[in-house]
């Protein structure tokens, strides 16, 4: 089985991705992670204005068979939350890099990106 791993993002070993643009980042979970979880039925996320810290959990994703904490690839303040997941958590399965994004963060320290894996590094980890 081969998983989609877009080259334009950075990855955490725990299968979250960050797409960095102009001092802010969109955060989600990888194709591999959504496939491992199976049918996602519940997503719990922080609110706008909440702080998240690199490597620390900021929410929970539950599938029918598993509960998984989600970890922040980068530190910062939450500026947007994907409210659509409340009624349609399956978007994370269907489109993990697009409509299934989780939060947007105003970055505290953009240099933290250096601590993350690039697409090749993440591919090597899961294969």
Partner 1 sequence: MSLRKTPLFERHEAQGARFTEFGGWSMPVEYESITAEHQTVREAAGKFDVSHMGQVRVRGADAEQLLQRLTTNDITALEPGDSHYSMITNEAGVILDDTIVYCLAEEDYLFIPNAGHDEQMTDRWITHRDRWDLKATVDNVTEAFAMVAVQGPEAISLVNREASESVKGLSRFEMREMAVAGVDCRVARTGYTGEDGVEILLPTEHAPALWDDLDCEPIGLGARDTLRTEMGYLLSGQDFHPEDEPRNPYEAGVGFTVQLDTDFVGRDALERVDAEGVEERFIGVMLIDRGIPRHGYEVLEPGGESIGHLTSGTMSPTLGEPIGLGYIDVDHTEPDTLVHVEIRDEPKKAKIRAPPFLPGK
**Residues that bind partner 1 in the complex, under the rule CB under 8 A:** 38-39, 41-42, 44, 60, 62, 64-65, 67, 86
- Considering the complex, what minimum distance in angstroms separates the CB of residue 39 from partner 1? 5
Mark 66-96 as b/e (b = at least 16 C-beta within 10 Å): eebebbbbbbbbbeebbeebeeebbbbbeeb
Residue (36 or 108) nearer to partner 1, CB: 36
On whether the CB atoms of residues 89 and 41 are closer than 8 A, the answer is: yes
Residue (20 or 37) nearer to partner 1, CB: 37
Beta bridge partners of 48: none
Residue (62 or 118) nearer to partner 1, CB: 62
């Amino acid at each position: 089985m081969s998983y989609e791993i877009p080259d334009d993002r950075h990855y955490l070993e725990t299968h979250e991705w960050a797409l960095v643009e102009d001092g802010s980042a969109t955060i989600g979970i990888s194709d591999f992670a959504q496939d491992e979880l199976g049918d996602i039925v519940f997503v719990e996320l922080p609110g706008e204005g909440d702080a998240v810290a690199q490597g620390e959990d900021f929410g929970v994703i539950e599938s029918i068979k598993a509960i998984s904490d989600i970890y922040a690839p980068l530190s910062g303040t939450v500026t947007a939350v994907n409210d659509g997941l409340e009624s349609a958590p399956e978007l994370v399965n269907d489109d993990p890099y697009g409509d299934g994004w989780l939060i947007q963060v105003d970055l505290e320290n953009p240099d933290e990106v250096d601590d993350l894996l690039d697409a090749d590094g993440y591919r090597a980890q899961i294969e």
